[in-house]
Amino acid sequence: MRAVSGRLHRMPHVFEPAPTGRAKCRGCGRPIAKGEVRFGEHLPNPFGEGEMTLWFHPLCAAYKRPESVLLTLAEAPQSAPDPAALERAARASSAHRRLPRIDGAERAPGSQAKCRHCKERIERGTWRIRLVFFEEGRFMPGGFVHIDCRKAYFEDNDVRDALLHFSPDLSDDERAELMRACGVEPGRASSEAQRT
């Protein structure tokens, strides 16, 4: 924050090229390459004075911090990835309060976890959606939801783009299986969710 006429003024969020390759995306945990456009969200520091900046890949931010992206999209540089795709993802995520919790999908390695929606156990080997909650500038693990409980929990049945985006380690066959579990023919998944 900067003092402006005796009061504190919050720095705006920003799209900018990454000056180094050291920062990791807060949304997916992967490095942001040097020169790649990144999104910086400026927030009050919950642990001390001033502000902190959280860095994201733009599409990760659109899914997980949609309001901040929508506030800043007009200032995105020409080199930013597809602004229309960023806006679509951010508007979809901001329309349903739980969508930003999506952190990908996986097959359950055991049967201990319970679904946050129906409270039933998630059987080993079945698809589950990982959840995170944003607290004090961090994404904290928040449990799981059955793939079949997605519409009731997220209040939206169309979560495939976010699921694929945050599941980059799935093989092509696993991605196709996940889409079928969502009731979507794999070839019909939108281009936004294709592996990058």
Residue 104 phi/psi, 5-degree rounding, is 105, -175
| Largest CA-CA distance found in the chain, in angstroms, rounded | 60
Mean of pLDDT values over 133-143: 92
Token output for 101: 């919790």
pLDDT tens-place string over residues 81-115: 788 999 999 999 999 999 999 999 999 999 999 99
Whole-structure pTM value:
0.84
Evaluate if residue 186 carries a pLDDT over 50: yes
**Looking at the predicted structure, is the pLDDT value of residue 3 above 70?**
no
Distance CA 52, CA 40 (A): 10
The domains of the chain, with CATH numbers, are 2-95 (3.30.1740.10), 99-193 (3.30.1740.10)
Q: For residue 192, what pLDDT is reported?
A: 43
**Predicted confidence (pLDDT) at residue 61 exceeds the cutoff of 80:** yes
Residues 6+ apart with CB under 8 A from 44: 1, 10, 50, 51, 52
Give residue 157's pLDDT band: very low, low, confident or very high (50, 70, 90). confident
Which residue type occupies 175?
Answer: R
DSSP designation for 174: H
- Top mean pLDDT of 46-60, 68-82, 107-121 is at 107-121
125 beta partners: none
Mean of the pLDDT values across residues 47-71? 92
What are the angstrom distances between the C-alpha of 121 and each of 51, 77, 115, 116, 148?
41, 46, 6, 10, 13
List, in sequence order, every beta strand (DSSP E) within the chain: 2-4, 7-9, 14-17, 37-44, 51-56, 102-107, 127-135, 138-146
7 or 37: which leads in pLDDT: 37
pLDDT at 187: 61
